[in-house]
């Protein structure tokens, strides 16, 4: 077995492997960033909204039998929606700055890795377009896998435990709302 591995390693051109890795890192980093900012954040938002809906429905259904309808109606009539426009604006600015920073950093990484890959291909006489094409094909397969996984697992997975949230709500009601 050792001799087979040694013979296998002897036939590998490490410069070509390094060239493939450099180009692959650039392509995958760019893809993951673009995929996240153009698609994943929207799916993630849907997942969070779904989790909130599940938890809030569970909590309301659990405490509904104990509520006085007149009291609830009085509370709802006087309930005012809080003004969160300043917080929304702060989050929008923060996310915009984060997105711009990520785009800048990933662009720099992509350009550097492509230049290094091109340089290595010229230095060791490899076909840059062939290596780039192979890595692009690999990236397409990774992209299909990422997209498929995102739709099979995370969108259907319930990570929030409604029972724990109900428990915490009851503890907070007891500690903060019950008159002593």
Q: What is the mean pLDDT of residues 128-137?
A: 96
The per-residue pLDDT for 180 is: 56
Q: What percent of the chain has pLDDT over 70?
A: 95
Closest CA to 27 of 97, 112, 87: 112
Domain annotation covers residue 104: yes
The per-residue pLDDT for 96 is: 95
Domain annotation covers residue 172: yes
Q: What percent of the chain has pLDDT over 90?
A: 51
User: 79-83, 106-110, 126-130, 169-173: which has the minimum mean pLDDT?
Assistant: 169-173
Residue with the larger pLDDT of the pair 165 and 179: 165
Domain annotation covers residue 51: yes
Residue 11 has pLDDT above 80, yes or no: no
Domain annotation covers residue 69: yes
Domain annotation covers residue 8: no
Q: What is the mean pLDDT of residues 5-25?
A: 83
Using only C-alpha atoms, what is the Rg of the chain?
A: 27
pTM: 0.74
Domain that holds residue 35: 13-78+98-177
Domain annotation covers residue 5: no
> d(Cα 144, Cα 50) in Å, to the nearest integer?
24
What stretch of H or E contains 18? helix 14-35
The per-residue pLDDT for 18 is: 92
The per-residue pLDDT for 99 is: 94
Domain annotation covers residue 6: no
Residue with the larger pLDDT of the pair 79 and 130: 130
Confidence of residue 158 (pLDDT cuts 50, 70, 90): confident
Residue with the larger pLDDT of the pair 53 and 144: 144
Residues in Cβ contact with 132 at an 8 Å cutoff, skipping those fewer than 6 apart: 23, 117
Question: For the chain, what is the domain count?
Answer: 1
Three-state DSSP class for 180? coil
Mean of the per-residue pLDDT values of the chain = 87
Domain annotation covers residue 155: yes
55 contacts 162 by C-beta, under 8 angstroms: yes
Residue 56 has pLDDT above 90, yes or no: no
């Amino acid at each position: 077995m050792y001799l087979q591995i040694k013979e296998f390693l002897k036939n590998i051109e490490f410069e070509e492997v390094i060239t493939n890795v450099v180009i692959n890192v650039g392509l995958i980093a760019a893809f993951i960033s673009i995929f996240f900012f153009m698609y994943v954040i929207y799916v993630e938002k849907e997942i969070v909204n779904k989790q909130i809906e599940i938890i809030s429905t569970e909590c309301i259904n659990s405490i509904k039998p104990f509520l006085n309808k007149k009291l609830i109606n009085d509370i709802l009539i006087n309930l005012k929606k809080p003004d969160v426009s300043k917080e929304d604006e702060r989050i929008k600015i923060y996310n915009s700055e984060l997105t711009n920073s990520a785009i800048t950093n990933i662009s720099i990484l992509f350009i550097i890795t492509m230049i290094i890959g091109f340089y290595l291909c010229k230095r060791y006489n490899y076909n840059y377009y062939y290596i780039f094409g192979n890595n692009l094909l690999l990236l397409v397969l990774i992209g299909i896998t990422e997209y498929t996984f995102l739709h099979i697992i995370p969108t259907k997975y319930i990570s929030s435990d409604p029972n724990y949230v109900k428990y915490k709500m009851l503890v907070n009601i007891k500690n903060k709302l019950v008159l002593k």
